[in-house]
Chain A
């Protein structure tokens, strides 16, 4: 059973992608295939997280080559919840793109690539082998390249050049790091690496972990190396940019968290002070960049960077509470950021522009959309009791506990500036009257409206749910953080060692080792 369940999150999207590519002549057929695939994926993800919660960590070895020699897929609480969030985003994006991309000539190929991208993302979450992580990163990367240039105009090609060039550098550094790590330890399995890395000389460890930090920082768009993100995101179709914004950078953060807890110990690697500085500057530059922009997609793109700062801050502080906060923040941010981009895309579809100067009057024309905008916007800015508040609260509390007062102050200031940006979008796009020379809003058919609004509303509901039902998600994040900082159960389960289960103290859900 486990063998099935762990493979399906990769298998279903890949199968759907192929089927979509075959049905490229018939738009309606490819839509149906794409929906079916996305729904099946969600069901599998729910089943997976249920199994993990009730039966503990799950492992399967590909081709029956046992770890540490073969490639293993591991579903612990963190990866299975990330898979669930990815599946939710997948469904939202697939629905939305049915309306948003219908006019594009490569409609079916878009769906095909979206599913292949989802396969890459889910594979990165589930794999327990660091070289396999590289392979899934590449799947993700090459499909994102494809989505970026499909039916592209001049500006999009230009954006794609920057995106491709900078991401290739990150890829190469990541590969080099893996090669050197293998040379130094002789293994690629993350669980096996945990013990072997600890025996390395300090300089070797510092070099290799530095390479990993650099490679993943580009992916996560951290402070000095984020420039590819605002240079490329704003020219993409809205459905695609929402998908990228929700998932791509977060996979980078996830990889950082995984590698710097299970493989390297962040404190031992010596990069903790650096990461604290990076986190602070990432927040600050992101939010200041957003303040100067007048294009909705660009404002939101810069806000991705500033929010990544909060997640890095959680990792950098490196206490259980901080990592709990970072995980909570990732879950919240994926949902909220995708939602904001979807709303921005809907405004663009209605008004033909996403420049704030040419927008206006959305509140009087579509009061319900204004309400739907306020939920993720307030959540992003961190108003209680929405989900963003709890994420910020956790990381800031953790920073105060470890006496990182400057970092806490930065985080609070960035929260304030986020409110400013959200107010700017609200005031310009929703509140002020439509400019005189602006074209009349496009009227959409009832069906199209439904396809646009359903994902937006669903994601808003999820945001509210996270906000009001903090307890279970907090517990989930806390147990995940405990398992990351105390990885012995994970290692025992993966390597099939003796089942002296060294359960994390707070594992209310019974995440015990040696489950197979």
Chain B
């Protein structure tokens, strides 16, 4: 099962990197979304996969039942998703502003910062 997930992560990263190498800023953004989701999945898989055992402690026990799911990767991913959500929102709006102000979505043509005033 882990092996399959690793393939999925690899495939998503490959697609994401391919898109990120494009000069078009929106494609770059799509690539970024793919890669960051792939990384979240990678964290999830790195935390080991188990099925059907929530990490809850029964009211008469001191420890959760053996083989319970690891809750920490999910907490990490949730944090990473929230942060990624904020960054993505910002980058999306920045891309919008850049296309509007600079009149191009081609990152090679964005050279306004380089000219000497």
Contact = CB atoms under 8 A, between A and B. Distances in A.
Contacts of B48: 183
Given A182-B43, A355-B116, A164 B94 contact: yes
Contact of A172 (B25, B39, B95, B115): B39
B8 interface: no
A179 B87 contact: no
Nearest to A353: B117
B113 to A, nearest CB: 4
B90 A145 contact: yes
Interface in B9-56: 20, 25, 28, 32, 35-36, 39, 42-43, 45-48
Nearest to B93: A149
B76 interface: yes
B78 to A, nearest CB: 12
Contact of B102 (A157, A235, A295): A157
B interface secondary structure, majority: helix
Interface in A148-168: 149, 152, 154-162, 164-165, 168
Contacts of B117: 155, 353, 355
Contact of A182 (B25, B76, B79): B76
Interface in B88-117: 90-91, 94-95, 97-98, 101-102, 107, 110-117
A189 to B, nearest CB: 12
A180 interface: yes
A158 B80 CA distance: 27
A176 interface: yes
A interface secondary structure, majority: helix
B97 A157 contact: yes
B84 to A, nearest CB: 9
B67 interface: no
Contacts of A182: 43, 46-47, 72-73, 76
A148 to B, nearest CB: 9
Given A138-B87, A182-B46, A295-B116, A168 B32 contact: yes
Contacts of B107: 161, 165
A162 B36 CA distance: 18
Given A168-B32, A182-B72, A176 B97 contact: no
B65 interface: no
A180 B42 contact: yes
Contacts of A138: 83, 86-87
B102 A142 contact: no
Contact of A232 (B32, B36, B102, B113): B113
Interface in A117-141: 131, 135, 138, 141
B101 A157 contact: yes
A160 B107 CA distance: 12
Contact of A155 (B72, B95, B112): B112
Contacts of A353: 117
Contact of A164 (B20, B91, B112, B115): B91
Contact of B110 (A141, A161, A355): A161
A410 interface: no
B111 A158 contact: yes
Given A131-B76, A164-B94, A179-B39, A171 B87 contact: yes
A294 B115 CA distance: 12
Contact of A160 (B45, B72, B76, B94): B94
A158 B39 contact: no
A179 B43 CA distance: 5
A179 B94 CA distance: 28
B113 A131 contact: no
B108 to A, nearest CB: 12
A179 B40 CA distance: 8
A171 B80 CA distance: 10
9 contacts: A138-B86, A155-B113, A161-B98, A165-B28, A172-B32, A179-B73, A179-B76, A183-B46, A183-B47
Given A158-B102, A179-B43, A183-B43, 5 more contacts: A161-B94, A161-B110, A172-B32, A175-B43, A179-B46
Interface of B: 20, 25, 28, 32, 35-36, 39, 42-43, 45-48, 72-73, 76, 79-80, 83, 86-87, 90-91, 94-95, 97-98, 101-102, 107, 110-117
